[in-house]
Amino acid sequence: MDFRKAILKVREANKILIVSHYDCDGLCSAKILKTTLKKEGKETKIKIVKEISKDIIREIEDEFEKENFDLIIFSDLGSPYLSLLPEDKDIIILDHHVPENIKVPKNIILINPYLENKELCGAGICYLFASKINQNPELIDYAIVGAIGDNQAEIGENKKIVSEAEKIKRLKIEKGLKIFGHVNRPLHESLKNANFFPLNTYSEVVQFLSDINLNQNGKIKSYYDLSKEEKEKLLLEIIKERIRNNLEEPANIFSDVYILTKQPRELMDALEFSTILNAFGRLERYDEAFELMDGKLEKLEEIMLEYRKKLATYLSFVAENMNSFPQTENILFINAKEKIDENMIGTVTSIVINSLTNKKIVLGFAYSGDMVKISARSKIERVDLNEIVSKICEKLGGTGGGHKEAAGGKIEKGKEEEFIEEFKKIVEK
Ligand SMILES: [Mn+2]
């Protein structure tokens, strides 16, 4: 990726509007850009958006004129909508979504690893760009968290950033368990959710931990806080329990844990950090997200509680209505209408495909004003959701796009069934 033109543009500008995506990767991208540009003495303003649409572009143009900006940087979004962007303003796009297939307009500098057949998350692109402007080694934390949020830390160019972070000792990768909450959740909670073996209730999990002396008078540590010996004992006992239960691949319980060594304890597990940022974004608590990244943790607990409550309600709704949703042997269509918040339909769809169904493709539909937001997830290698979803959305007068294994779109209300029929037709072929 060649950043030279973009760097020149930034040097010329005084007041820069940063428009970024509302998910973890987008929030991390904006944090990196803001910190770097501020250090250069630039005035900046961050605008977090859920998507690019004509209305949003109009809003951006108004803001640009009213507040006398001289440059817009889009991060972690923009590429698929080149023809919607303003034609008379300087624009830099730092993005990894599949670009719209047109000649890039003259006023736009498009930097996108996709054009070089590379994979790098939005925050990773922003980090490389930022490190060519000035040195802020601590910003590498956000490149890592962005990559984890987009599920890309072990893919492509992201791996190079991961190694760099290890080299400068801001990141430590440890062998851990396939659990969530290595650092900040007590073991019985993480284990209960991990489903390593058939223990159904908290009390059964607590009993298991008591039996192996990891429950000291009702105090249960997190995995991270166990001593080396305690960790070894725990792993051994889990594997033994899995063998006793005749589970396949009994030792398949490990995963890497990315520990950000310089972050406060609440944020040092990069997976937890990314989940937190995604949650803040879905609840549209953007200011609080940036405060959090500045180390202010006061609102963390309250916001995460609100998020978990909402998510639990949506997952129960899906579980209760699973049989009545349209489906084929391999595809589930969660037609949630107004029952699931459009901001959270993507998260719900991801959780459903990973743990609530055996279907290989899951789509979620949630009302979004006069439109329906669509979120698609696939576990079938041959299926390119970016292509299929964008094609059907366009055919129905909407817009869509994304990645091969995860894509989204918007169509008018009432066209859901048509979409579902088209989707079945294409995928079955
Ligand atoms: Mn991204």
What pLDDT sits at residue 221?
95
Read off φ and ψ for residue 402, nearest 5 degrees. 140, -130
Distance CA 170, CA 166 (A): 6
Report pLDDT for 216. 86
* Residue whose entry in the numeric block shows the structure tokens 């659990």: 179
- Digit-coded pLDDT (tens) for 104-158: 999 999 999 999 999 999 999 999 999 999 999 999 999 999 999 998 999 999 9
Contact 380/361 with Cβ under 8 angstroms?
yes
CATH number of 4-144: 3.90.1640.30
Question: Element (H or E) spanning 408, and its range?
Answer: strand 406-412
Q: What is the DSSP string of 179-222?
A: -S-TTTS-HHHHHHHHTSS---SHHHHHHHHHHTT--BTTB---
User: Whole-structure pTM over 0.95, yes or no?
Assistant: no
CA of 315 to the centre of ligand 1 (A): 24
pLDDT at 218: 84
Closest CA to 126 of 94, 97, 148: 94
Q: Domain 311-428 adopts which CATH fold?
A: Diaminopimelate Epimerase; Chain A, domain 1 (3.10.310)
pLDDT at 355: 82
Say if residues 399 and 389 touch (Cβ distance below 8 Å): no
- Can you give the pLDDT at residue 217? 84
Short-list 182, 183, 179, CA closest to 191: 179
Q: How far is the CA of 96 from the centre of ligand 1 (A)?
A: 7
Burial of 226 (0-12, 13-18, 19+ CB in 10 A): middle
Provide the pLDDT for residue 199: 73
Nearest to residue 345, comparing CAs of 308, 385, 383, 376?
A: 376
Distances (CA, A) of 180 to 4, 95, 105, 252, 274: 40, 28, 44, 15, 12
> What pLDDT, on the 0 to 100 scale, is given for residue 137?
95
Kindly list the strands in the beta sheet with 399-402, ordered across the sheet, starting from the edge strand earlier in the chain: 331-337, 361-368, 371-378, 406-412, 399-402
> Can you read off the two tokens belonging to residue 288?
């609080």
Instruction: Give pLDDT tens digits for 77-101.
Output: 999 999 999 999 999 999 999 899 9
Q: How far is the CA of 122 from the centre of ligand 1 (A)?
A: 5
Question: What is the 24 CA–ligand 1 centroid distance (Å)?
Answer: 8
CA 209 to chain centre: 32
Q: What is the pLDDT along the chain (429 residues), one digit of tens a residue?
A: 999 999 999 999 999 999 999 999 999 999 999 999 999 999 999 999 998 989 999 999 999 999 999 999 999 999 999 999 999 999 999 999 989 999 999 999 999 999 999 999 999 999 999 999 999 999 999 999 999 999 899 999 999 999 999 999 999 999 999 999 999 999 999 998 888 888 768 889 999 999 999 998 889 999 999 999 999 999 999 999 999 999 889 988 999 999 999 999 999 999 999 999 999 999 999 999 999 999 999 999 999 999 999 999 999 999 999 999 999 999 999 999 999 999 999 999 999 998 889 999 999 999 999 999 999 999 999 999 999 999 999 999 998 888 899 999 999 999 999 999 999 999 988
Quote the CA–CA distance of 382 and 404 in Å, as a whole number: 9
pLDDT 10s digits, 315-329: 999 999 999 999 999
Ligand 1 centroid, distance to 9 Cα (angstroms): 23
Task: Please tell me what DSSP assigns to residue 327.
Answer: B
Ligand 1 centroid vs 145 CA: distance in angstroms? 11
Q: Which residues contact 429 (CB under 8 A, 6 or more apart)?
A: none
Q: How many CB atoms lie within 10 A of CB 264?
A: 11
Tell me what pLDDT residue 206 has.
93
What is the whole-number distance in angstroms between the Cα of residue 123 and the centre of ligand 1? 7
Spell out where 68-200 has E strands.
Answer: 71-75, 91-94, 108-111, 171-177
- CATH 3.10.310.40-classified regions of the chain: 311-428
How many angstroms is it from 182 CA to the middle of ligand 1? 24
Cα distance from N-terminal residue to C-terminal residue, the chain: 37
* Rounded distance from Cα 253 to ligand 1 centre (Å): 28
Which residue is associated with the tokens 């006793």? 244
Helix (H) or strand (E) holding 345: helix 345-351
CB 310 within 8 Å of CB 56: no
| Chain centroid offset of residue 334 CA | 20
* Tokens describing residue 313: 């309600």
- Which distant-in-sequence residues (6+ apart) come within 8 Å of 47 by Cβ? 17, 18, 19, 20, 60, 63
Residue 381's closest CA among 358, 405, 364, 401?
405
CA distances from 312 to 12, 307, 340 (A): 49, 9, 11
Measured in angstroms, how far is the CA atom of residue 46 from the centroid of ligand 1?
A: 17
* pLDDT computed for residue 213 by the predictor: 93
Contacts for 18 with CB less than 8 Å, ≥ 6 apart? 30, 33, 34, 37, 44, 45, 46, 47, 72, 73, 75
Domain limits, CATH 3.90.1640.30, in the chain: 4-144
Confidence at residue 277, expressed as pLDDT on a 0 to 100 scale: 98
pLDDT digits (tens, 9 = 90+) for 202-228: 889 999 999 999 998 889 999 999 999
| pLDDT score, position 380 | 94
CA of 421 to the centre of ligand 1 (A): 29
Q: Smallest Cα–Cα separation from 423: which of 373, 369, 383, 382?
A: 383
243 CA distance to ligand 1 middle (Å): 39
